[in-house]
Structure 1
Amino acid sequence: MSTIRVLVVEDEAVAAAAHAAYIQRIPGFELAGTAADGQSALRLLGELAGSGAPVDLVLLDMNLPDLHGLDIARRMRASGILADIIAITAVRELAIVRSAVAIGVVQYLIKPFTFATFADKLESYRSFRRQLSDRQSGSGRAGASQSEVDQAFASLRAPSELPLPKGLSAATLGSVQDFLRKHRDAAVSATEVMDALGMSRVTARRYLEYLADAGTALRTARYGTPGRPENEYRWNGK
């Protein structure tokens, strides 16, 4: 997948510089530019699109000197600019959050936040884009199944944002994640996790299914073994 070009829209100079620096620390992302107000952002988005180097993702503050972030998003869509939007803001009102979701904001990051939280959001977004791109290029078809769509959107949520089902522990979940991360170049089965971590196969499968539903693991069917096909899981995070 090509590099994701990001526009930072933030009126506070210190915050804008920090977000720009954060982007440059995450492989696969590049800073397309910064804008301190809504009009500048819309103008820059149009100029970059016209030059053949459009923006893929906008990190958009909701409270700007001239326009509200929701107004900017609406004007983007009205002018045919389809860049995805991650809202970065201190605004917590549920009405604003609902409106942001309604106009296509894919993530909502509340200030203040750490680099780790910022990076998790962008990594989740990249997983979302990669899954949609892989589905189209790999299948040769324009459509997607319900499960493919569900898994792509699930990747926008970090596992920490999903409540742990009864019977699952955060410590064991971390161990399963570490195992998948260490074997990122190969898909593993519940049986292999069971053998490595000393848990039952049923328990291993529950944790793997949870990570697949969260988008942290990619789930596919493993064929070529006697009996019923077994699912295998591949790390889909950082």
Structure 2
Amino acid sequence: MTAPIRVLIVEDEPLTAEAHAAYVARLDGFAVIGSVDTGRAMLAAVAAERPDLVLLDLNLPDVHGLQLVRALRSAGSAVDVIAVTAAHDVRAVRNAIALGIVQYLVKPFSYRAFADRMTSYREFRRGFEDHRALTQADIDERLGTLRPVAPAEHEKGIARETLEVVRDALLEMADGGSASEVAAATGLSRVTARRYLEHLAGAGQVDKDVRHRGHGRPEYEYRWLR
């Protein structure tokens, strides 16, 4: 069984920190290992506990969160960081991206928005569990998991008839199916099948997880949420 992603929460508002911990507890594949309320405490916790992921408020009482990320990178730490903050000015967002922050959540947000970003991050991380060399398509696929999927009524290139074909094929697969399997069942190309499956996953109708079978590279499995 895959070990849970170990999460450190960095938030100076106690009620907000508790809410974030409660949100994380509702998600599969994550475990909160601690919560701190200052930048100094965060640096100490990262060094001592070695979390996989930091949920970081940028506006801390002793130091700005982006300075902390710079300090981590200078020290050689590759810990992943998701900004969870009220700061949304252009400079803050651009600097966060430049420092490699993998997701950016602007307060206040719903549990659904939080879960979407965390699930995308989990899939992104799992995509690198296969240590073989990656092709360009592999890299594009992994980076694509960090991008939210547009809702059905706003996404270009999604045809209702094709969406129904993909949905019906997946409904017939009791144990879920990969993009290749759905493509074989519908006559669509794998790329088209995956695009529609990703669309359904983004709409919350389909669960998406990494499938490991045999010695081949892992692939995504999609399962209709009944």
Say whether the fold is shared (TM-score over 0.5). yes
Contact 1:151 1:213 in 2 (8 A): no
The answer for the alignment partner of 2:89 in structure 1 is: 93
The answer for the alignment partner of 2:155 in structure 1 is: 164
For the aligned residue pairs, the C-alpha RMSD in angstroms reads: 3.5
Normalised TM-score (structure 1): 0.73
Normalised TM-score (structure 2): 0.77
Unaligned runs of 5+ in 2: 203-207, 210-218
Paired with 1:113 and 1:174, the residues of 2 have a C-alpha distance of 31
Unaligned runs of 5+ in 1: 49-53, 195-200, 219-231
Q: CA deviation at 1:208?
A: 3.2
Contact 1:60 1:87 in 2 (8 A): yes
Candidates 132, 142, 150, aligned match of 1:152: 142
Q: CA deviation at 1:117?
A: 1.3
Paired with 1:60 and 1:67, the residues of 2 have a C-alpha distance of 12
Residue correspondence of structure 1 range 65-214 to structure 2 within 5 A: 65-133=61-129, 135-136=130-131, 141=132, 143-160=133-150, 164-168=155-159, 173=163, 176=166, 180=170, 183=174, 185-187=176-178, 188-190=181-183, 192=185, 194=186, 201=187, 206=192, 208-211=194-197
The answer for the alignment partner of 2:35 in structure 1 is: 34
Contact 2:12 2:36 in 1 (8 A): yes
Count of equivalent residues: 207
Q: CA deviation at 1:23?
A: 1.0
Rg bigger for which structure?
1
Normalized per residue, the structure richer in helix is 1
Tell whether 2:221 aligns with 1:234.
yes
**Change in CA separation of 1:186 and 1:172 when aligned onto 2, cut-off 3 Å:** closer
Q: CA deviation at 1:180?
A: 4.2
The answer for the alignment partner of 1:222 in structure 2 is: none
* 1:71 partner SS: helix
**Change in CA separation of 1:116 and 1:109 when aligned onto 2, cut-off 3 Å:** same
Residue correspondence of structure 1 range 49-60 to structure 2 within 5 A: 54-60=50-56
> Deviations along 1:104-148, whole A, 9 cap, x unmatched?
100011111111111111111110111111x31xxxx3x211111
* 1:160 partner SS: coil
The answer for the alignment partner of 1:25 in structure 2 is: 26
User: Percent identity between the aligned chains?
Assistant: 37
Q: CA deviation at 1:80?
A: 2.1
